[in-house]
Amino acid sequence: MPLTCIIVDDEPLAVRLLETFVNKTPELELLASFTDSVEAINAVKQQAPNLLFLDIQMPDLNGMELAHMIPQETRIIFTTAFKEYAFESYEVSALDFLLKPIRYNKFLAAIEKARQWFSLTPQMPPSHPPHRGKPSAQEASPTGGGLVGALGASVFLRVDGEYRQIQLARLLYVSGMKDYVMFYMDDEPRPLITHLTMKAVEEMLPAEQFMRVNRSYIVALEKIRSVDRNDCIYIGKEIIRVTDAYREAFLAYLNSKFPGGK
């Protein structure tokens, strides 16, 4: 069943481009398009689409303001020409952030994130295998439902009702969406999704090997291919932005590896 969506952008050309992308993507069904954000409010509330493609800088009612008025079940993919809004998008739990001019491959990557989000099991209650001795901090934590425990260079995760042991050497990066976390492995076609918080993952992973670079991503430092002048990390098939709150620590790491470099 396709994901329903609504487009809101005050630029008609931007709307038409997104309509073209949606129409050639079988996983999507377009419900409506709007160039007026005020007019869009009632439609979004009444139809409650799965996805809202939302521009940020608009007259009367901007995208950030509208984001606080939509149904909770609707996920936002921001579309904007201003990368400085990226950090704010995490504040409203946006599913993704597409920087204009938008390329179709980036659009498809955002749709894949959306598909993964909506395919998540609604409820995955915490469960732990028998354990001898005192539990670790993560095992005892009420927020660590997806984590079973760590064993040296590997960790156990509860995925799709079963326990999976993953090798940290294979982990590329971790992406969080509210109470779910996706573990992207270098030899897995799809991420491993578990009910867990980013805070619990950050505490679980060795700090010398993994670093949080924004509210929604933790990266494996040795897996980074490159870092551009805009502090965007290229890792696996993903481009991850380092936000202001984490930039100082990340740059310190880079300087320790490449003195006098970045």
Q: Is a pLDDT exceeding 70 seen at residue 65?
A: yes
Percentage of residues of the chain with pLDDT beyond 90:
42
Residue 74 has pLDDT above 60, yes or no: yes
**Which pLDDT score is estimated for 260?**
55
Of the candidates 255, 231, 237, 107, which has an alpha carbon nearest to the alpha carbon of residue 185?
237
Among 78-82, 122-126, 219-223, 257-261, the range with the most confident prediction by mean pLDDT is 219-223
Task: Report the percent of the chain where pLDDT is more than 70.
Answer: 81
What average pLDDT does range 62-90 have in this prediction? 76
Does residue 144 have a pLDDT over 80?
no
Q: Which amino acid is at 134?
A: K
Q: Comparing 188 with 18, which gets the higher pLDDT?
A: 18
Q: Is the pLDDT of residue 147 over 50?
A: no
pLDDT at 140: 32
Q: Which of 89, 95, 48 is closest to 69 using CA atoms?
A: 48
Q: What is the overall mean pLDDT for the chain?
A: 80
Q: What is the mean pLDDT of residues 16-24?
A: 97
Poorest-pLDDT segment among 23-37, 106-120, 144-158, 189-203: 144-158
Q: Is the pTM of this model over 0.75?
A: no
State the average pLDDT over residues 175-194.
84
Q: What is the pLDDT of residue 137?
A: 34
pLDDT score recorded for residue 150:
44
Residues 42-49, mean pLDDT to the nearest whole number: 91
Contact 85/109 with Cβ under 8 angstroms?
Answer: no
The pLDDT value given to residue 131: 36
User: How is the beta sheet containing 154-159 ordered, strand by strand?
Assistant: 147-151, 154-159, 162-167
Question: Would you call the peptide bond into 206 cis, given omega within 30 degrees of 0 as the criterion?
Answer: no
Q: Which residue has the higher pLDDT, 27 or 194?
A: 27
**How would residue 250 be classed by pLDDT, with cut points 50, 70 and 90?**
very high
What are the C-alpha distances in Å from 8 to residues 5, 59, 94, 96, 260? 10, 12, 15, 15, 45
Give 208-246 pLDDT, tens digit per residue: 999 999 999 999 999 999 999 889 999 988 999 999 999
Q: What is the pLDDT of residues 79-112, one digit of tens each?
A: 988 765 554 544 555 788 888 899 999 999 999 9
CA distances from 102 to 6, 162, 203, 233 (A): 17, 38, 35, 19
pLDDT on residue 243: 93
pLDDT of residue 72: 77
